[in-house]
Chains A and B, each alone.
Chain A
């Protein structure tokens, strides 16, 4: 289900790393909007600022200038603690290399975010089991990450990202470390989340095939939006 209200609003974002002569500009007055329930792919060459953009959307980093608003709420005024609480409730992350905790089972990995919001151990296990079932891994509950394939690990990571029911899912090259077949499974899963629960997804990718799964493709180059944003069936939407 799609809505007209913006889920993500980025206004005039500026971000640079380093200092003085070593200052490297990453984002240069970038503005864009992602609507609720939209699946947006961000493409661009290495170093174009895609991951930095995603980090700013997720409150993992702060812009040097500009504003990030998620569901109408500005992140720049939040303290670190408020940001942490907001992330726990509102946003899920999927990374290229899965970032699972190797000493925990799939079930415990998925249940981790729920320790912040769900006091009952039995309920946490039930919800984590349900999330793993949704990604087709109900037979892998007790397995540790190293006992699973890359595709399975990424599906566990997706289960972990959605288990708390966030409205926004941020994916950084989720198929970058997977073979074609596993990558397609992951993309189908992301598509399913958008259709079934109206989750807003922003996915950074190098892969044109993966980007084609999204509703809209936004190209970033040298820290700014490129002119060739592609809308697949929806109106073009970039500032």
Chain B
């Protein structure tokens, strides 16, 4: 079969310009696909990690509007509420304004109790964080991105909160670095002591960004959320409560239905690919019908020649699509490094499986008509079209 392999390889590269354009289309399409899937995963990560037994209670007007701290006790008194943790958005960057850091002020012990999906390396480090109000706990992704380690002193510039003693620069000591319990866990943030933050900030004392509420029974989450909102319906700051999942989905809807956009984009890419590859292959096969007819006169069966067409197309698709997928895999670390929003982007083998499946589908779909033509077209008539 060496001769047939040589023939297949030679035919793929026979009309170089056409092959290059088709390959380029495949490379671009599969680079896009290879990046879209992980990006879509990042956008949906929040939804997937959201716990059904946790509520977010925010200002009804906007997440950017604060709530009074005193709400915490009243929320805790609502039947069905197991615990309440307060949060404030610190709004910081590290070294460069472009290097934003997701820093949240919260109460360490309550945070750890509320977030079982976060894994802390040792009780000693955790204790250290609890006891030192100027210390912080940093997520692994964020620490790795900035090259931080336990014990480092980290100066952060808060664009929202100047210190009482002047200046927007806050320096914290890293007490611990936490990991996620699984690949979906978000470790792009850092946590600082709410009490310290509240004491030291120049304004805003007594206010929080939002509350995170654990309900005793996840099945009652919606009812508890409604009870909380009812409680503050006529207060100075009305609340909007929802499960983490619903809250994240609401937020995602504001950004746009990214999953739908991905599906639409991939569908467009797929059909464009099918048209481009089918056109290229049809022209290639059409111009070689006399050669296929000759091979049939030599005794090659129609289905063998149809298989050659499929093999040729599969080779082209795998070369172009494979290169595109590898480019995407190579680009993922760059995205992680240079895009704060995509800091948790990662490569999954299932993406490659998707790409491979799509490649085979494109190859099969676009080979059908040309392969059928090679198999069934009148032999003598095609042979007459000599080169």
Using CB atoms and an 8 Å cutoff, list the residues of chain A in contact with chain B: 51-52, 55, 58, 60-61, 80-81, 84-89, 93, 95-97, 99, 101-104, 108, 111-113, 115-116, 121, 124, 160, 164
Cβ contacts under 8 Å, B378 to chain A: 61
With beta carbons under 8 angstroms apart, the residue of B2, B379, B386 that contacts A99 is B386
Q: Which of B356-387 contact A (CB under 8 A)?
A: 378-380, 383-384, 386-387
Let me know if A87 and B298 touch, CB within 8 A: yes
Q: Nearest residue in A to B9 (C-beta to C-beta)?
A: A103
Q: Which of B264-293 contact A (CB under 8 A)?
A: 290-291
Task: Indicate whether B320 reaches chain A with its CB closer than 8 angstroms.
Answer: no
Using CB atoms and an 8 Å cutoff, list the residues of chain B in contact with chain A: 1-4, 6-7, 10-11, 14, 290-291, 294-302, 378-380, 383-384, 386-387
Closest Cβ–Cβ distance, residue A55 to chain B (whole Å): 4
A88 to B2: give the CA distance in the assembly, Å: 18
Let me know if B301 and A99 touch, CB within 8 A: no
With beta carbons under 8 angstroms apart, the residue of B4, B298, B379 that contacts A61 is B379
A87 to B295: give the CA distance in the assembly, Å: 11
Cβ contacts under 8 Å, B387 to chain A: 97, 99, 102
With beta carbons under 8 angstroms apart, the residue of B4, B11, B300, B383 that contacts A60 is B383
Let me know if A111 and B299 touch, CB within 8 A: no
Extra pairs beyond A80-B302, A95-B386 (20, CB < 8 Å): A52-B380, A60-B297, A61-B380, A80-B301, A81-B301, A84-B299, A84-B301, A85-B299, A87-B298, A89-B299, A99-B290, A101-B294, A102-B387, A104-B6, A108-B7, A112-B7, A112-B298, A113-B298, A113-B299, A160-B298
Chain A contact residues: helix, strand, loop or mixed: helix
Which of A51, A111, A113 has the largest number of chain B CB atoms within 10 A? A113
With beta carbons under 8 angstroms apart, the residue of B7, B380, B384 that contacts A101 is B7
Let me know if A103 and B298 touch, CB within 8 A: no
With beta carbons under 8 angstroms apart, the residue of B2, B299, B380 that contacts A55 is B380
A86 to B291: give the CA distance in the assembly, Å: 19
Which of A81, A102, A115 has the largest number of chain B CB atoms within 10 A? A115
Listed by A's residue number, 17 A-B pairs whose Cβ atoms lie within 8 Å are A60-B296, A60-B383, A80-B301, A85-B301, A86-B299, A88-B298, A93-B297, A97-B386, A97-B387, A99-B383, A101-B7, A101-B294, A108-B6, A111-B3, A112-B298, A113-B298, A113-B299
